[in-house]
A and B are shown apart, each in its own frame.
Chain A
Amino acid sequence: MSESTRPPFVIGVELDGTGAHPAAWRDAAISPRESLSPRYLARVAAEADRAGFSFLTLEDAPVTPETAAPDAPAGSQLSPRPGVTARLDALQRAAYVAPLTGSIGLVPFADAVYVEPFHLAAQLASLDIASAGRAGWVVLAEEFPGAAEAVSWLPAAGDDLPREATDTAAVSRLIWDSWQDDAVIRSVETGHYIDPERLHYVRYRGERFSVTGPGITPRPTQGHPVVFGRADRVAARQLEVAFVSAAHPTIVAERALELTGQVPRVVAELEVVLDARGERAAARLARLDAHTPAHTPDHTGGVSARGRFVGTAAGLVEHLTEYADVVHGVRLLPAVTDVDLPEIARAVLPELRRRGLFRSPVAGDTLRDTLGLDRPSNTFEAARAAEPASHPEREAAIR
């Protein structure tokens, strides 16, 4: 990045399950059953918060983990989890850790297709308020086998998925804006708890769903929780942070360049296997692969394979220093959370901070503060200011 007012370099960490490697659970300190417990979730989230990560992500899908990403990362946003048959709702997991963490952003994956957008918007608003402005979401838009049969309407399929997800993201923003920030007035004189003029009907008429509004939850702390996702899954104009995945930093750089001007922040995804506990990273990986072969990153330059770093903590520091020149941040996926997360916390983040490449968030920072993103203005207030009498039915075309 070459602009003079350079946005902060951010470092996120994925904390779903026991790690990103398909055999991670075999190297975890806890059993598969305990990996679903609130104690484990609280422990790893608090560890990531203390370590000073910018944000945590929690992968999720509307089907079992083993169904969600059979051949990931080549064809999916999600880490492969063969044999894993249970996972808790990521939005609720993020809410659970909200009061237990102080500064880390909370960014669950949330399905945008097999979902009621009205509920999703309320859930994200509630997460943002409960976390004092630390919420984001990763827009998930994939066609999962079996997911359509689990809902009572005919979901979008094939090429329509990104359009459906884009509609869901767009209507979520309108629902958040349906309450002005100053809607609650508590006027003893007029008896009004809210000023009804500061609440707005959404009147969204999309191709596949409509929402009248207003939302049931006041406008989120950040205005809008930050919208993360992949530009091939949801229209870039809805995204504030785009994930890019590629095996080589040079390809990451090319893809980041393509997104420049379309998405404010580009974050690279990187799996991490470190030397740890007296064992070399390569040996650890070989042992894990012997259990369950992980997808091999496509070193010939395939566009959707994830990058993976295998080596020492010092090597990762150098690697991330290279990334800092081409993207606005990274989302690290520890191969085994219990093993790699402590190493990153101990030897990687402190060194990057020492070099001035990275600044950890502090209590009171919103996720937008951490990312250097502005708080969005309110569509309805802006429209009213521009044209006081206007009251159009909102068409899908406006998004």
Chain B
Amino acid sequence: MSIATSTHPTVDAEAAQTRGQIHLGVFFQGVNFSTVWNAAESGSQTEFESFRRLIQTAERGLFSAFFLGEGLRLREHLGAIHALDVVGRPDAGIQLAALAAVTHRIGLVATQNTTFHEPTALAHRLGTLDLLSEGRAAWNIVTTDNAWTGENFRRGGYLDHADRYTHAEYVVNTVKALWDSYPADAPADSPDAAAWSAPGTAESVVTADRYTSVAAVSRVPRSAQEHPVLFQAGDSPEGRDFAARNADVIFSTHSAFEAATDFAADIRHRTEAAGRPADDLKIFPGQEFILADTEAEARDKARWVRESQVTPQTALAFLEQTWGRSLGEFDPEGPLPDIPSVAEQTSETRGTGFHGHRAAEQIASWRALSEEKGLSIRQLVIHLTSGRGFVGSYSGVADELLRYAEAGVVDGFNVTPYLVPSGLDDIVNGLIPELQERGIYPTEYRGETLREHLGLRRPLTRRHLA
């Protein structure tokens, strides 16, 4: 069932037409400690029913896309498996195939890295998902050169860091070539046809780079959207250019209005430089939404969310990454540890995206901050991690999003729900009707495929075709 169509009486239809639309995506199982697993309403992170409930809620709210993340080695902290956050996830290609059967229009996005998946396997499995979902599949392209992750795979840490993006681009191009290689007008559309496939087998695709060579025959026809939609998240200049050349949608962490504005200008410039129309690459920052009827209630809720996310143990673990040693003897509700770090560089929780800073400088700045504001360890960590997200009343946040839509600096937001499986209920029941009233949110799924719904053009390699 879709959200009832409603038009705000003051919104001029034409203005609404030209006004940017905000799409929403949802990311299942947030990274690090974003998911609150210790509340009464926290459900299973494993059972299929949690996924079904969340994706069906998203579809009720006309979300564009449902994302599954990927982590191919369990994170470690100080040499042991990190135990404080949600651990364990399904294979994205399998889970999304199952979810395709219980949804009709929402996009299904599999995060898959280009280093430890074979190009032929990626083309086949993403192509399969695209046919099973009738044109709703997408690939969130991620790159890694992590030898530590490679210990779970045949080739180990085979990839030089410097070649991360060039190899990824080789893989993406090979996957596209495989998708394009299946003959048009095949298979036959009648059991009375002379042959199962009149043009016969696909041509073999032969490619090679420094690391990989492929000679493969595709066995998946294209779906109604021709190629799965390509998403990419890369924030370095190299990553942004990679997206500008290859992706349909780029994620970002730049959700604050000014940062989003700068990011959009930069991406549009790069997209044009890559020979594409400026609006060819859609922009979806990741964002958390904490909503309630009133601003004050939302602030209370946000406090509860932060305290649930940053448990005393998580607060210590956060600091331990910088101190490089166990801080178990310190009271998380007490002052910062008065000892120096053991490592020159921060010891990152492996498998996370934390970036290292020189530990001593980091610690000094945190000490200054906690002394100035009188913060305990846990209060400091909550303070450091609270900047993200929209917190407010339904109408207040809708007004904020209106600003983004009118400025055209984002095409959508990718929501990380802090609760599973009920984490989208507030957005779907409370925020989306407000957005629809302001004419900045879809009132129905546009077209049948994800590509149509997002308003994307044909895949880059097929645009020249009739």
A interface residues (Cβ-Cβ under 8 A, vs B): 25-38, 41-42, 63-67, 83-89, 91-93, 95-100, 115-116, 118-119, 122-123, 125-127, 129-130, 132, 146, 149-153, 179, 183-184, 186, 188, 190-196, 199, 208-214, 216-218
Contacts and interface: CB of A to CB of B under 8 A. Distances in A.
Contacts of A190: 313
Chain B interface, DSSP helix/strand/loop, else mixed: loop
**Interface range on chain B (Cβ under 8 Å from partner):** 35 or more
B128 interface: yes
Contact of B219 (A25, A87, A122, A183): A87
A218 B98 contact: no
A38 B131 CA distance: 7
A145 to B, nearest CB: 10
Interface in B75-131: 80-81, 83-91, 93-95, 97-98, 100-102, 116-118, 120-121, 124-125, 127-129, 131
Contacts of A89: 93, 124-125, 128
A216 B187 contact: no
A150 B214 contact: yes
A152 B118 contact: yes
Contacts of A64: 201-202, 217, 219
Nearest to B70: A216
B149 to A, nearest CB: 9
B212 interface: yes
B296 interface: no
A211 B152 contact: yes
Contacts of B202: 64, 85
Nearest to B213: A152
A348 B100 CA distance: 33
A66 B189 CA distance: 19
Given A32-B187, A64-B217, A118 B97 contact: no
A86 B311 contact: no
A88 B128 contact: yes
Nearest to A151: B118
A179 B89 CA distance: 12
B208 to A, nearest CB: 10
Contact of B116 (A65, A116, A151): A116
A31 B217 contact: no
A99 B98 contact: yes
Contacts of B447: none
B186 to A, nearest CB: 7
Contacts of A25: 191, 196
Contacts of A37: 131, 134
Given A28-B191, A126-B94, A186-B38, A196 B118 contact: no
B91 A122 contact: yes
Interface string B137-155: 0000000000000011111
18 contacts: A28-B191, A36-B131, A38-B134, A64-B202, A85-B187, A86-B220, A88-B132, A88-B220, A99-B102, A100-B101, A116-B154, A123-B93, A150-B215, A193-B37, A194-B88, A211-B153, A214-B74, A218-B88
A193 B87 contact: yes
| Closest A-B pairs by Cβ, 8 of them | A191-B313, A32-B187, A150-B216, A126-B90, A92-B97, A149-B215, A212-B151, A95-B97
A86 B313 contact: no
Contact of B201 (A42, A66, A97, A199): A66
A85 B197 contact: yes
Interface in B2-34: none
B131 A88 contact: yes
Contacts of B193: 31-32
B81 A153 contact: no
Interface in B180-204: 182, 186-193, 195-197, 200-202, 204
